[in-house]
Amino acid sequence: MTTPILIAIGGNSLIRHGQRGSIGEQIENARTTCRYLAALIKQGHSLIITHGNGPQVGAQLIRSEMASSQVYPLPLDCCDASTQGEIGYILQNALRTELNALKIVRSIVTILTQVVVSKDDPAFQHPTKPIGPFMSQKTAEMRKQELGWHIVDDAARGYRRVVPSPKPIDIVELDAIKHCMDDGMIVIAVGGGGIPVVHDQKNYSGIEAVIDKDRASALLAGKLGLKKFIISTDTDRVYLNFKQPDQVALDKITLAEAKQYLENRQFPPGSMGPKMEAAAEFIVHGGEEVIITKPELLVDAVNGKAGTHIYRN
């Protein structure tokens, strides 16, 4: 068995652009993504899997708000916990189905994961993390007026609600994740960036936010001592001047180049920006390689034939 690889799956890989996001659609999309994960496992790779929850946690929060006159409402941290279980269940079943087709027997476990943040993080005053469905400008303005939502135009695809996204500091269930990894299990953890909690003396309490899953994944990969970290997203690689006539694809770049591009504001804060920041942080803290690509190219990317590869030098 090779050294484990951490793969962070974007929440939008389970709900594709233009889809309503039904459970049936999510299961089918998960099967597609897990087909490529299973192919990596067949090659001998051991995986730690994390995932986003932007569309799902936004939908869960809308359900809670709309039904608040009938049942107790859920704070955002509980919505994070709920979607961890929901998506973990979908991914576990999808991956088991794909492994069964390849006649591979492996234990798969989802670990409900709490991630420590600071209650004084400035992100609580400046929400940036998009969640929930895309909206028209008219609907967005109505939600902003009626519900006090913070709204942004997200990568020219529509308008979305944004919530605080504090920096992850520590992972409460790290030992449990490591024990499962060392026992050869496929671990699904830090779902949706983890449940945000603050540490007060010896206790933890939830706080309303959504942690960026790539930053939390980079933290987990670093604390597990992994050398390779993969971010699976909705584009084949990273681009400069994305979607502009002069866009440039990045195949192999150094940590210094990644930092320079970030400094030049090449990557939007609610989209590729956190991914590149997470990549840089992982390498700064001992990682050797970060790959950014879409699910269909995962196998080729691990074999050096696709995606953007970021190295220390």
Q: Can you list the positions of beta strands (E) in 18-69?
A: 47-51
Q: Spell out the residues 6+ positions from residue 6 whose beta carbon is closer than 8 angstroms to its own.
A: 47, 48, 49, 50, 217, 220, 221, 224, 226, 228, 229, 230
* Residue 119, Cβ density class (10 Å: 0-12 exposed, 13-18 middle, ≥19 buried): middle
**Active site includes 294?**
no
Of the candidates 199, 198, 195, 202, the one whose C-alpha atom is nearest the C-alpha of residue 216 is 195
Query: Per the residue annotation, which of 10, 11, 222, 287 is the catalytic one?
Result: 11
Question: Helix 23-42 and helix 76-101: axis angle, to 10°?
Answer: 50
d(CA 45, CA 132): 33
Query: Per the residue annotation, which of 21, 213, 228, 273 is the catalytic one?
Result: 213
d(CA 228, CA 216): 15
**Active site includes 275?**
yes
Query: Per the residue annotation, which of 273, 275, 287, 294 is the catalytic one?
Result: 275
**Active site includes 228?**
no
**Active site includes 103?**
no
Query: Per the residue annotation, which of 54, 58, 88, 129 is the catalytic one?
Result: 129
**Active site includes 138?**
no
Q: Spell out the residues 6+ positions from residue 80 whose beta carbon is closer than 8 angstroms to its own.
A: 53, 57, 192, 193, 194, 195, 196, 210
Q: Give the active site residues.
A: 11-12, 129, 213, 275
